A and B are shown apart, each in its own frame.
Chain A
Amino acid sequence: MARVLVTVGMGPWPFDRLVAAVAPLCAAHEVFVQTGTSTVTPPCPYAAFLPLDDLRERLAAADVVITHAGNTVRLVQRLGRVPVAVAREAARGEMGNDHQVAYLREEERSGRVVAVWDVADLPAVVAAHPERQRRLVAERPLPGAVDGERLADTLDALCARLVR
């Protein structure tokens, strides 16, 4: 029994395919789902939207995070862990374009992520996650984030050049 957090992000597009696929997990694990604007609901505790602080706490407390292939992927990686990610597909009405698909393909090749392309695989993926997470963290490096002071200096220098 694992603590599983599922999040589909805060954007305006529904992600019914992922939310519906969570059902089999609800019987076996302690699951919470952030459903966004999805039109289906899971048979376990859920909320449409979570304040960012609340979401960060839940990300930190979960054993497994299942997320759309958005910026949450990086948030989970920065917590030293490996997210399970499902890409939103434009053809299914899950987003306006396929950039999550392109991003997840690339991240799957070289980054710390478990990509799921068939949501029916989720129960098996969750069961295998502790071992895969250990291996990916050991084998794949995570690029560092920019320091705030340096970021601000870079942008100030750019503005000094552009602003009259």
Chain B
Amino acid sequence: MGRRYRILLVSSSGGVLLDLLALRPWWERHDPVWVAVRAPDTEVALAGQRVHWRPELSTRTRLRVLPATWRALRLLRRERPDVVVSAGTGVAVGVFLAARLLRVPSLWLETFNMTGPAGAAARLCSRLAAAVLVQRPALLASRPRAVLIGELY
């Protein structure tokens, strides 16, 4: 048994939640805590997990990124995660900025159906991330610091 990490998983609703849930064989070896956007799927899927509920950020509410980052800084200081993981979307931006400021390594997981250029949140988060987890070999060339993890489901 290796070292046990405190893992902070950050998720909106939709397919990105499925991706993080598919990482369960990994995070259940460790101490997971979640930051999630409250929605019908996140509420059901994360029942029994430790969750900090946060609002989603979108391109229309981008000015909220500063207060969101501030709140994320306080949350990271309290939770002291060893690593932060997200597949998206907007809610991850504040947490990834805060993690970068506190030098906590973050992993950006590219969701399966992302085949071409990434969206705004994905571009920013993958730039802030210590590694970008990709599910297809074809993406290794086009993503910085990419690590191939295989198809999650």
Given contacts A70-B15, A158-B131, contact A96 B25 (CB under 8 A): no
- Distance (Å) between the CB of B128 and the closest chain A CB? 13
User: How many interface residues does A have (CB within 8 Å)?
Assistant: 40
Q: Is the CB of A12 within 8 A of B39?
A: yes
The interface residues of chain B, by DSSP majority, are classed as: loop
Provide the bound-state CA to CA distance between A24 and B131, in Å: 47
Cα-based distance from A99 to B118 in the complex (angstroms): 8
A155 touches B23 (CB 8 A): yes
Summed over the interface, the residue pairs from A and B with CB atoms below 8 Å come to a total of 120
B116: A residues at CB distance < 8 A: 99, 102-103
Pick 27 A–B contacts, CB within 8 A, sort by A: A10-B17, A11-B14, A12-B13, A12-B56, A49-B40, A51-B44, A69-B113, A71-B153, A73-B113, A74-B113, A74-B153, A78-B153, A99-B117, A103-B113, A103-B116, A145-B150, A145-B152, A146-B152, A151-B25, A151-B149, A152-B29, A155-B149, A156-B2, A156-B26, A159-B82, A162-B131, A163-B5
Interface residues of A (CB under 8 A from B): 9-12, 48-49, 51-52, 69-75, 78, 96-97, 99-100, 102-103, 106, 143-146, 148-152, 154-156, 158-160, 162-163
**Which of B's residues lie within 8 Å of A, judged by CB?**
2-3, 5, 12-15, 17-19, 23-26, 29, 39-41, 44-45, 56, 58-59, 82-83, 105, 107, 111-120, 130-131, 133, 147, 149-153
